[in-house]
Amino acid sequence: MIRPVRWVVTRNHLSDHQGLAAVGAVLLMVVAAGVLLAWPTVSDSAWAMTAVDNLPPGVADMLGLSGASLVEPSGYLNASFLSVLFPVVMLIVTLPLTVRAVAGAEAGGELEFLAAQPVRRSQILVERFVSVAVLTFEIGLPPLLLLATGASRGRLGLAAGSVVWAGARALLLVVLVNAVVAAAGGLSGRPVLTSLVGLLVGAGAFALIAVGVPEFSPARWLIGSLPLEGTFSPTGSLGTALVATAAMWLGARVFGTRDLRLP
C-alpha cells in the first residue's frame, strides 16, 4: 500500500504563487510607505480634527476612530491602515486563491490528476489551505514590518510591537475567513458558491460594525475597536478560531468522501 505523501501539495502550491506573493507584498509596502509619508500632512490639517464628527458612528467605529481622532498617531494609523484597509486588501488578494485552490481546481479538472496520486483528497484540501495561509503571511508581514519600523522611528512615535501585534491579528482574521471559504469549496466544489461564501463572510465581518452591531463581528473580536490599543476579544477570537476549525474539519470530511464534480 502506498502511503500518502505529506506537504507536497502545499510546497507545489506555494511555489506556483511566489510571484504573486512578491508582487502583493511590494504593492502593500508602497501603500504602507504612503501612509507613513502622509502623516505630517494629516496631523497639521484642520479638516482632520473634525473628520470624525462628519462620519456616521458605525463607520467611525469600523475605522477604529470611536473616541479617537485622525490627528492622534494611533487614530490615524488605525483608520488609514490597520482597521480596514490592510485586512480588506489581504482578503481581496487571498480569497480568490482559496477559491481556485479547491473549488476552482475541481471545476477545471485539476483535482482529478491530484486525486490519482498517493494523496488523500481531504489532505489536498487541508494542504492547499495551509499554503494560502502561508502566502497570507508572506504577503502581509513585509508591509507590516515596514509600517512598524516607520511608525516607531518617525514622527508617529508608536511602539513597533503594538503595530505588529495589531497587524498580526488582522492577518489571523484573513486566515480564518479563508478557512471557512476552503471548507465551502470542499463541501460544494462550486467556485461561484464558494466565492459567494467568501464575499459574505469577509464583507460581513466589517459590515456588522458599520451597521451598529459590532458584538457579532469577527473583525471586532480579532482586530478590535482600537487595534493599536489591543482592545480585542480573546473569547470571541477563540470562538472564531473554533468555528473556522470545525468548518475545515467538516469540509475535509465531506470532500474526502463525495464524488468529484467533472468539468
Contact predicate 156/77, CB 8 Å: yes
Q: Which residue has the higher pLDDT, 109 or 245?
A: 245
pTM: 0.93
For 87, phi then psi, to 5°, come to -65, -35
Q: What SS3 class is residue 155?
A: coil
Q: What is the structure's pLDDT at 247? A: 96
Residue 222 lies inside a defined structural domain of this protein: yes
What would the pLDDT profile of 78-101 be if each residue is shown by its tens digit? 999 999 999 999 999 999 999 999
In this prediction, what percent of the chain has a pLDDT beyond 70? 95
Residue 196 lies inside a defined structural domain of this protein: yes
Q: What is the structure's pLDDT at 4? A: 57
Residue 231 lies inside a defined structural domain of this protein: yes
Residue 85 lies inside a defined structural domain of this protein: yes
Q: What is the structure's pLDDT at 119? A: 75
The secondary element (H helix, E strand) that includes residue 53 is none
> Is the pLDDT assigned to residue 179 strictly greater than 60?
yes
What would the pLDDT profile of 167-178 be if each residue is shown by its tens digit? 999 999 999 999
Number of domains in the chain: 1
Residue 1 lies inside a defined structural domain of this protein: no
What would the pLDDT profile of 93-137 be if each residue is shown by its tens digit? 999 999 999 899 888 887 777 666 677 888 889 999 999 999 999
Residue 3 lies inside a defined structural domain of this protein: no
Q: Which residue has the higher pLDDT, 15 or 9?
A: 15
Q: Which residue has the higher pLDDT, 5 or 190?
A: 190
Q: What is the structure's pLDDT at 1? A: 41
Least confident of 29-33, 65-69, 88-92, 205-209: 65-69
Residue range of the domain that includes 144 = 8-257
In which band, very low, low, confident or very high, does the pLDDT at 60 lie, cut at 50, 70 and 90?
A: confident
Q: What is the structure's pLDDT at 231? A: 85
> Is the pLDDT assigned to residue 3 strictly greater than 60?
no
Q: Which residue has the higher pLDDT, 197 or 112?
A: 197
Q: Over the chain, what is the mean pLDDT? A: 90
Contact predicate 243/232, CB 8 Å: no
Q: Would you say the C-alpha torsion 77, 80, 84, 89 has a positive or negative sign?
A: negative
